[in-house]
């Protein structure tokens, strides 16, 4: 085990699978005590068991972040208590992706996606920031998306929520930076787990012609999160780090047909 986050206490939402799970494992391997959070108790328990068997510290707190102040503040309170009184690092990772188009999205779906992807992160940050301000130290890491800046014919609703999160990243950095809180975001590219077959999965084609030429692994996002959470990023404020294989920063000129 390394020690870049030794003694730090972290809450990672949506950390029972995929990017959140990889981030929880990476934080714990770097010495942090991690609160794994999500709706699936069995998957959450499995992540905690994995971390503990490797010698790390982790606990699971179930949470259904529905966008209400009640749900976000309850998770903040439970995590703070379990971690012994304070949270050093908050990772706002929980989110949902509806594949609907603008013409097929109803009001219920619209409200739910904004509730989970934006409101939950907003009110969780609202609940945790005061203690960070009081201690003059803290880190907030948000998860954006390449889809917020490089548009597709589906997923307009999702893209707009991630645009909101990236804007909140800059706004919170301005609001909280002088009080000791660093706020940054990661914008993942097309990320899949090894179990997924990208040769047949249509998302794989989205990376054709990029510098990486392939989809990414959740560990790549976790590595960026460790950097932003550590003192190595002490001078990094209000930025969105693209970890996308060059998808948004480089013109795709290869024929993907």
Kindly tell me if the per-residue pLDDT of 20 is higher than 90: yes
Q: What percent of the chain has pLDDT over 70?
A: 95
Q: Report CA torsion sign: 102, 105, 107, 109.
A: negative
- Where are the extended beta strands (E) located within 100-223? 138-143, 181-188
Mean pLDDT of the residues in the chain = 94
Kindly tell me if the per-residue pLDDT of 65 is higher than 90: yes
Kindly tell me if the per-residue pLDDT of 152 is higher than 70: yes
Per residue in 208-229, pLDDT (tens digit) is 888 988 999 999 999 999 999 9
Kindly tell me if the per-residue pLDDT of 195 is higher than 90: no
- Domain 9-243 CATH assignment equals 3.40.80.10: no
- When pLDDT is averaged across residues 181-197 and rounded to a whole number, the result is 86
- Look at residue 240 in the predicted model and tell me its pLDDT: 98
pTM equals 0.95
Helical packing angle, 120-135 and 69-82, nearest 10°: 40
- Look at residue 179 in the predicted model and tell me its pLDDT: 98
Instruction: Provide the pLDDT confidence category of residue 194 given band limits of 50, 70 and 90.
Output: low
The domain segmentation of the chain, as residue ranges, is 9-243
Kindly tell me if the per-residue pLDDT of 2 is higher than 80: no
- When pLDDT is averaged across residues 3-13 and rounded to a whole number, the result is 97
Per residue in 232-245, pLDDT (tens digit) is 999 999 999 999 99
Window from 138-147, 150-159, 188-197 with minimum mean pLDDT: 188-197
- Look at residue 197 in the predicted model and tell me its pLDDT: 46
Backbone angles phi, psi at 192, to 5 degrees: -135, 160
Judge whether 158 counts as a catalytic residue. Answer: yes
Distant-in-sequence, close-in-space partners of 251: CB < 8 Å, separation ≥ 6:
none
Which of 27, 60, 146, 158 does the annotation list as catalytic?
158
Distance CA 240, CA 12 (A): 18
Per residue in 84-124, pLDDT (tens digit) is 999 999 999 999 998 889 999 999 999 999 999 999 999 99
Distance CA 166, CA 119 (A): 13
Is the CB of residue 47 less than 8 Å from the CB of residue 25?
yes
Distant-in-sequence, close-in-space partners of 30: CB < 8 Å, separation ≥ 6:
1, 2, 3, 4, 5, 6, 226, 230
Task: Return the SS3 of 216.
Answer: strand
Kindly tell me if the per-residue pLDDT of 23 is higher than 70: yes
């Amino acid at each position: 085990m390394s020690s870049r986050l030794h003694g730090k206490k972290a809450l990672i939402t949506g950390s029972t699978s995929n990017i959140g799970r990889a981030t929880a494992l990476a934080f714990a391997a770097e010495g942090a005590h991690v609160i794994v959070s999500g709706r699936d108790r069995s998957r959450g328990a499995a992540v905690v068991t994995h971390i503990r068997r490797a010698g790390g510290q982790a606990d699971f707190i179930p949470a259904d972040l529905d966008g209400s102040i009640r749900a976000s503040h309850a998770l903040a309170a439970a995590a703070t208590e379990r971690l012994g009184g304070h949270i050093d690092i908050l990772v706002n990772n929980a989110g949902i992706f509806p594949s609907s188009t603008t013409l097929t999205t109803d009001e219920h779906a619209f409200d739910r996606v904004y509730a989970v992807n934006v409101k939950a992160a907003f009110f969780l940050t609202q609940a945790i920031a005061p203690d960070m301000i009081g201690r003059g130290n803290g880190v907030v890491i948000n998860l954006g998306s390449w889809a917020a800046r490089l548009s597709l014919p589906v997923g307009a609703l999702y893209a707009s929520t991630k645009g909101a999160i990236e804007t909140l990243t800059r706004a919170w950095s301005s609001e909280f930076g002088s009080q000791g809180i660093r706020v940054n975001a990661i914008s993942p590219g097309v990320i899949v787990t090894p179990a997924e077959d990208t040769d047949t999965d249509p998302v794989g084609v989205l990376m054709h012609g990029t510098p990486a030429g392939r989809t990414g692994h959740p560990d790549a996002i976790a590595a960026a999160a460790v950097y932003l959470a550590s003192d190595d990023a002490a001078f990094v404020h209000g930025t969105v780090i693209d970890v996308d294989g060059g998808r948004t920063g480089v013109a795709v000129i290869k024929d993907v047909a």
